Structure 1
Amino acid sequence: MLSLLVLAGLVVAACAPPTPAPAPAEKPAEAKPLKIVVIGKSVHPYWSNVEKGVRAAAKDLGLSDDQVIFWVPQKEDVAAQIQTMETYIAQGVTGIAIAPSDPNALEATMKKAAEAGIFVTTLDTPPVEGSVSLVYIGTDNYSAGVIAGEAMKQLLPEGGKVGIGRGSDTALNALQRTDGFLKAIEGTNIIALEPVNDKEDAATALQLANSVISANPDLAGAFGVYAYNGPAWATAVKEAGKAGEIKIVCFDATTDIINFIKEGVIHATVAQREFDMGYKSVQIIKLMAEKGVEAALAEMGAKNGVIDTGVDVITAANLKDYEAQLDAKGIPHEWTTEGWEPPEDAFEFKME
């Protein structure tokens, strides 16, 4: 009987349907291709240098031109920046780094991007307090403004009237640089005139510079807040026949600014490291996508949501040294000091 039961059990087992194989695990969804967008403010050599940094980062990080987009409007245009952000939000890009011409106006669109899962960072111009921007990459603009003011103090120890030209009355970088400059000259005999706003238009900047010089024949100095303001002042000063007489302090190290320094028309410029701003904007968004926000911020050395790219004060006295620094870092520039020597009495800035 036992043998019959065993046999029956074997027959039943043989007739039973096979145990279904476990279902294959679902293939994980492929990660979306990395796509990073950097949005600047206007067509200008300064922003060309930012783009060079963006392109260098893409090359070094193994990203194609299709994966890293750089865009600027023809001139400062908040509506165009918003529209461009909306376009890339709809495309679902990985990250957007923007230099907001008006941080208050851009914040709502930046928030929309963040809510869509896009990494949002800022460069060149700080965002509003409490912004969704994960990090600001650029200059400590207030401190840089103070440095510019210190340079003007050294150039005008007896004081005098100083004109101020800038491209915006709302962008934080313009306001902070102006505030820092004004703070530095407090308690001196330097009288700062009301800033004139060219709305980031170089032709308007030149017209305004000419107007300030005409209205103030005793003008002793001029401060250029944006990259084209220095050349605008320099051109106006040359046209007025006052080169060397009106002391010019400005921002950035574009080719035209360097040439005016070599001519002795611009006396000092506070050079931002805009190449680094572009480079690090691409670098950090890629890191955020690969390692997460906190890890990326830590790796890039962010402090309180800021990566300070620093500044260099350039005068005729140290221009050759500055060029050597750029060459050592492999940072491209279209100007050269070859065949040029600074005058013996060239202004030499001393940081106090």
Structure 2
Amino acid sequence: MSTSPDMSRRRLLFGGAAIGAGALLAGCTSNETKDSAPQTNVKDANAASAAPGKPVTIAFSAPAADHGWIGAITANAKAQAAKFSDVTLKVIDAGKDAPAQIAALETVIASKPDAIVMLPQDGAQLTAIGKKAMDAGIIVINLDREFTDAAASFSLIKGDNYGMGVAAGHYIGEKLKGKTDAVIGEIPGIDELQLTKDRSKGFADTLKTYGLTVKHRVAAGFTVQTGQSAAANLLQAAPKLDAVWNHDDDQGVGVLAAIQQAGRKEFFMVGGAGSRDAMDHIKAGDTVLTATVTYPPSMASSAIILARLAAQGNGMSDLVELQVPKMIVLQSETITKDNVDKYLPLGFKS
């Protein structure tokens, strides 16, 4: 991110399934200590390509968090690497901002690992270091926050940010069909990030097909605290609302707290990520939250698999091509009360 508060993010998973087709969830949160260890979902090492091969060293770097989406990202990477006897995983402290992550990765590059799996603090700012690693012959798997130059990575795996906005827009559009004067609010995460811009564009483009627009928009910062303050400001600016899309279920903890404190119930809300907290509320029907759209931290498990395959010169066994794909985009799905039971086991704790 351009400005780098301590940001966490989402969690859910479905390791191997994430690589093949539409996977699952995501979000963002503050870095408060939680009692329970992050849940992980990984692919068992039972495929043909999982037979022990050339030993490889994979460096992994992502913003720090002990829970939420980012917590799940790191927990997944560690758990997936542990499934392979031929993988040595070196987890690299990403520091508090992009310059700190760059400095750490400079040292990593000098140690010449076989691959680096990197979730950048900010994709644009980390592009040059990704390119430097690739030029040094190190395979780089770009995770989630996209570099600005495709040559900076061997492969990219990410969620469908534009698709999240599309999914949220369709859910709200269908619920408000024909109500062209509806008042819709939006609470994004960090506006400087490209992923936020993509989500908002998908949302706006889809609402437009229903004759709807966002009337009130206040950005948060992927934390509980910023979610609460952004929601409080939005509610103050909008005495009446019909629907709200909050981009991130982790910051949604604060959003829901602000809504409850204000005593507002006249609208419904859609979340983003697929946290267990959000799904519990959807199932219970005890808040304005009636749906969430997914963004899968299982991508970290898949990124480790891709890094190992590429470092060993292998492709994906179900594809004809000899190398792993240059890009994998995971689909965003909509969780409602009708299908929440199917997704509950995959939810992550905000």
Alignment of 1:90 with 2:113, yes or no, is no
Unmatched runs of 5 consecutive residues or more in structure 1: 1-30, 336-352
Of residues 59, 81, 101, the one that matches 2:101 is 81
Q: Structure 1 residue 194: deviation in Å?
A: 5.7
Q: Structure 1 residue 233: deviation in Å?
A: 2.4
Partner of 1:7: none
d(CA) in 2 for partners of 1:180, 1:273: 18
Tell me the TM-score normalised to structure 2 length.
Answer: 0.73
Distance 1:63 1:57, change over 3 A: farther
Q: Structure 1 residue 320: deviation in Å?
A: 1.0
Partner of 1:40: 62
Distance 1:301 1:119, change over 3 A: closer
Deviations 1:269-305 (A, max 9, x none): 1122212x01111111111111168999946862xx2
Partner of 1:137: 157
Alignment coverage as a number of residue pairs: 292
Of residues 82, 99, 104, the one that matches 1:59 is 82
d(CA) in 2 for partners of 1:137, 1:164: 26
Partner of 1:271: 294
Report the 3-state secondary structure (helix = DSSP H, G, I; strand = E; otherwise coil) of the residue aligned with 2:157: strand
d(CA) in 2 for partners of 1:222, 1:268: 11
d(CA) in 2 for partners of 1:281, 1:258: 26
Alignment of 1:254 with 2:275, yes or no, is yes
Report the 3-state secondary structure (helix = DSSP H, G, I; strand = E; otherwise coil) of the residue aligned with 1:242: coil
Alignment of 1:173 with 2:215, yes or no, is no
Q: Structure 1 residue 203: deviation in Å?
A: 1.0
Q: Which amino acid aligns with 2:253?
A: P
Instruction: Tell whether the 8 Å contact from 1:54 to 1:70 is kept in structure 2 after alignment.
Output: no
Partner of 1:200: 222
Q: Structure 1 residue 261: deviation in Å?
A: 1.8
Of residues 126, 131, 146, the one that matches 1:106 is 126
d(CA) in 1 for partners of 2:202, 2:154: 25
Alignment of 1:190 with 2:212, yes or no, is yes
The one of the two structures with greater contact order (alpha-carbon pairs below 8 A, sep at least 6) is 2
Instruction: Tell whether the 8 Å contact from 2:216 to 2:237 is kept in structure 1 after alignment.
Output: no
Report the 3-state secondary structure (helix = DSSP H, G, I; strand = E; otherwise coil) of the residue aligned with 1:219: coil
Partner of 1:210: 232
Q: Structure 1 residue 208: deviation in Å?
A: 1.2
d(CA) in 2 for partners of 1:253, 1:205: 16
Alignment of 1:156 with 2:176, yes or no, is yes
Report the 3-state secondary structure (helix = DSSP H, G, I; strand = E; otherwise coil) of the residue aligned with 2:213: strand
Of residues 108, 125, 128, the one that matches 2:145 is 125
Tell me the TM-score normalised to structure 1 length.
Answer: 0.73
Q: Which amino acid aligns with 2:212?
A: I
Q: Structure 1 residue 211: deviation in Å?
A: 0.8
d(CA) in 2 for partners of 1:202, 1:155: 27
Q: Which amino acid aligns with 2:150?
A: G
Note the aligned Cα RMSD (angstroms). Answer: 3.0
The percent of aligned pairs where both chains have the same amino acid is 25
d(CA) in 2 for partners of 1:82, 1:52: 22
Deviations 1:214-243 (A, max 9, x none): 111112222122342333322222222124
Alignment of 1:306 with 2:340, yes or no, is no
Q: Which amino acid aligns with 1:96?
A: I
Q: Structure 1 residue 87: deviation in Å?
A: 3.0
Distance 1:283 1:299, change over 3 A: farther
Q: Structure 1 residue 182: deviation in Å?
A: 0.7
Of residues 239, 248, 252, the one that matches 2:261 is 239
Deviations 1:1-49 (A, max 9, x none): xxxxxxxxxxxxxxxxxxxxxxxxxxxxxx9963223333452411222
Q: Structure 1 residue 130: deviation in Å?
A: 3.3
Distance 1:130 1:155, change over 3 A: same
Instruction: Tell whether the 8 Å contact from 1:161 to 1:192 is kept in structure 2 after alignment.
Output: yes
d(CA) in 2 for partners of 1:118, 1:184: 40
Q: Structure 1 residue 68: deviation in Å?
A: 4.3
Q: Please tell me whether Structure 1 or Structure 2 has the larger radius of gyration of its CA atoms.
A: 1
Distance 1:235 1:190, change over 3 A: farther
